[in-house]
Amino acid sequence: MRPRPARRRLSDPPSPHGPHDERGVALIITLMALLLMTALGMSLMLTSHTETLISANYRDGLEGSYVADAGIERVMQDVLSIPDWNTILTSADGVRAGVTSGFVDSTITPQMRDGRVLDLAVATNMMNCGKTSTCSDGDMNTSTADRPWGVNNPRFRLFAWGEVNDLIPTSSLNSPFYIAVWIADDAAETDGNPSADGADLTNPGSGVLTLRAEGFGPGGTHRIIEATIAKTDVTEIERGYTGQRGQDEQNRRARKAAVQNPGAGLTRSEMNLGGGFAQQAF
């Protein structure tokens, strides 16, 4: 006859290997719940931070486009008041135009508010030959995918540059953006001399200049608008249009018979926030 097992008394310590021992389970569940809540919290924080960055990038990109457009508008006033455009297209130092706008900074290596330094001479060389160093005539005459016109490749010259806040004298602007506008002979010319406007009226680029405005902002924001501007044979000048003003604005101006150079139609307008591009005629 086998002896009966002794009954466990309440005062006895629990067996470490008992089949119903649940000590520590609550702690494990609590730790798992805490880990899950932490992961959810971090996910919400990351999502919120990402949305904030997206909003800031969108805001800066939009402001950069407006800044570039403002540069075009500001420079047109100066260009249209210069009777001889050949004085603009010449350059003594290969960077600045022979005659510049009234909107100019004291340096071509300005420091932006975020601490970055802009080298506008390097930017000019990159436009003209894709190099950071000074461009030779051979470099600028080379046909590339971006500049396929050979000897008629435009030679961009720095015409206007400065902080956006200095665009108007009222000190009412508060923008961290910097703006620069370059000017060049129209690539459609066939006279083989990009440092002078075509004198022959049969030349398709005669009386036409190319403007390139770039807005530089915080976080590396960079927006570009290119435009063409043409002389007219009348004293009453009506401004053309830019692509971002929309089809309604184009139609309204078409009904008003916008002034343009004889024999030429209003140019096609486009706008791209990724690179920023527009065409306009006057």
Q: Which pLDDT belongs to residue 4?
A: 64
Average pLDDT over residues 229-255: 48
**For residues 53 and 68, what is the distance between their CA atoms, to the nearest angstrom?**
22
Radius of gyration of the chain (CA): 33
Average pLDDT over residues 106-124: 93
pLDDT band at residue 168 under the 50/70/90 scheme? confident
Q: Which pLDDT belongs to residue 11?
A: 58
Q: Which helix (H) or strand (E) holds 227?
A: strand 222-230
Residue at 101: amino acid letter: S
Task: Provide the 10 A C-beta neighbour count for residue 148.
Answer: 11
Distances, alpha carbon 249 to alpha carbons 160, 230, 237, 238, 270, in Å? 27, 20, 17, 13, 13
Q: Per-residue DSSP letters for 10-47?
A: TTSPPPTT-TT--TTHHHHHHHHHHHHHHHHHHHHHHH
**For residues 49 and 56, what is the distance between their CA atoms, to the nearest angstrom?**
11
User: Torsion-angle region of residue 116: left (phi > 0), alpha (psi -120 to 50) or beta?
Assistant: beta
Does position 120 have pLDDT exceeding 50, yes or no? yes
Q: Which helix (H) or strand (E) holds 252?
A: helix 246-255
pLDDT band at residue 246 under the 50/70/90 scheme? very low
**For residues 124 and 85, what is the distance between their CA atoms, to the nearest angstrom?**
19
3-class DSSP state of 148: coil
Contact criterion met (CB below 8 Å) for 250 and 87: no
pLDDT band at residue 159 under the 50/70/90 scheme? very high
Q: Which pLDDT belongs to residue 97?
A: 94
Does position 242 have pLDDT exceeding 50, yes or no? no
Q: Which pLDDT belongs to residue 234?
A: 46
Task: Provide the 10 A C-beta neighbour count for residue 105.
Answer: 18
Does position 194 have pLDDT exceeding 80, yes or no? yes
pLDDT above 90 as % of the chain: 40
Does position 178 have pLDDT exceeding 90, yes or no? yes
Average pLDDT over residues 148-156: 93
Q: Which pLDDT belongs to residue 258?
A: 36
Q: Which pLDDT belongs to residue 75?
A: 92
pLDDT band at residue 106 under the 50/70/90 scheme? very high
Measured in Å, how far apart are the chain's first and last C-alpha atoms? Answer: 118
Q: Which pLDDT belongs to residue 269?
A: 39
